[in-house]
Structure 1
Amino acid sequence: MGVGGEGVGADGGRNQSTTDDGEQFADAVLALLAVARRTRGRLQPLFEDVTVPQLVLLDAVQACGLEGIGAISAYTLLSQPTVTQQAASLEAAGLLRRIPAEDDRRRRVLTLTDRGEQLLAAKRDLVADRLSLAWKSLTPQEQSIAVPLLRHITDLVSHLT
């Protein structure tokens, strides 16, 4: 049963409330995307040495850099040329390294440098501090579902493209 009422009518067909539930979900996801974009702008002043998109790329390198540019591209939903270009600037800044893959020396994988790991950890802490007020405002029940639900919605939305 959805937020707006029953999902299936007495005749077995979809009723208006199912459509309304889908529209409410779409509205909520679009609102989440909009607030994420605004939050990105509000966080940028905290980062003198890296941009928020670069921070996202550093996070992706930590998560899946050893799988190569394609994996980072899929993780961040950025094109491979964009990832390659951003990685080059982060490499020049001493935050990551491009190294030959062990299984195919022609292919490059990405790893964070010690400086990149330290910067990513410090910036994550800043973001966590900023978002902790929102987290603390959630009830224990909401906290127990918030992270898995956000990750699940992220996965669902990322597969729409």
Structure 2
Amino acid sequence: MLALLAVARRTRGRMQPLFEDVTVPQLVLLDAVQACGREGIGALSEYTLLSQPTVTQQAAGLEAAGLLRRIPAEGDRRRRVLTLTERGEELLSAKRGLVANRLSAVWTSLGPEEQSIAVPLIRHLTDLVGELT
């Protein structure tokens, strides 16, 4: 498991040069905001496996950068929901394309047998990690 975490960390480090205007963790949070930001900080915390204070702090930085906005929830004005700004949507879309191209090149370097076991194995490992949290 530690080896898997080390690989994930190295992968993130190798992807960072693709992004001069956003960090990989910020990109992950933007993706999470698009997926479940309207459900609030708690949902983002669960989605990203980050603590709520970490998500709140990162969201504040992304809001200051003009990439997302925190707005009062409709049913409970004390609660905040997050949405991407137009600039945030554009940045996320562009960066997803870069990541997809890079990962596509890696994927095609695998043989058919490796590809057939890779996805189920990654899903299984993800489920195992999810059980630990």
- The two structures share one fold, judged by TM-score above 0.5: yes
Relative to structure 1, the CA distance from residue 116 to residue 147 in structure 2 (aligned partners, 3 Å threshold; closer, same or farther) is farther
Structure 1 position 75, deviation (Å): 1.1
Secondary structure of 1:105's counterpart equals coil
Residues 11-42 of structure 1: CA deviation (Å, up to 9, x unaligned): xxxxxxxxxxxxxxxxxx43222111001111
Q: Give, as a single letter, the amino acid of the residue that structure 2 aligns with 1:65.
A: G
Secondary structure of 1:115's counterpart equals helix
Say yes or no: does 1:72 pair with 2:44. yes
Secondary structure of 1:111's counterpart equals strand
Overall identity of the aligned pairs, in %: 84
Q: Match for residue 104 of structure 2? A: 132
Q: Distance in 2 between matches of 1:102 and 1:151?
A: 35
Say yes or no: does 1:50 pair with 2:38. no
Relative to structure 1, the CA distance from residue 31 to residue 121 in structure 2 (aligned partners, 3 Å threshold; closer, same or farther) is same
| TM-score, normalised via structure 1 length | 0.75
Secondary structure of 2:25's counterpart equals helix
Unaligned runs of 5+ in 1: 1-28
Q: Give, as a single letter, the amino acid of the residue that structure 2 aligns with 1:38.
A: R
Q: Distance in 2 between matches of 1:83 and 1:102?
A: 21
Secondary structure of 2:76's counterpart equals coil
Residues 90-142 of structure 1: CA deviation (Å, up to 9, x unaligned): 00111001011122111001111111111111111111111122211234455
Greater relative CO, 1 or 2 (CA 8 Å, sep 6+): 2
Q: Give, as a single letter, the amino acid of the residue that structure 2 aligns with 1:54.
A: Q
Paired positions, count: 133
Say what the alpha-carbon RMSD is for the aligned residues: 1.7
Q: Match for residue 33 of structure 1? A: 5
| TM-score, normalised via structure 2 length | 0.89
Which protein is richer in helix relative to its size? 2
Q: Match for residue 94 of structure 1? A: 66
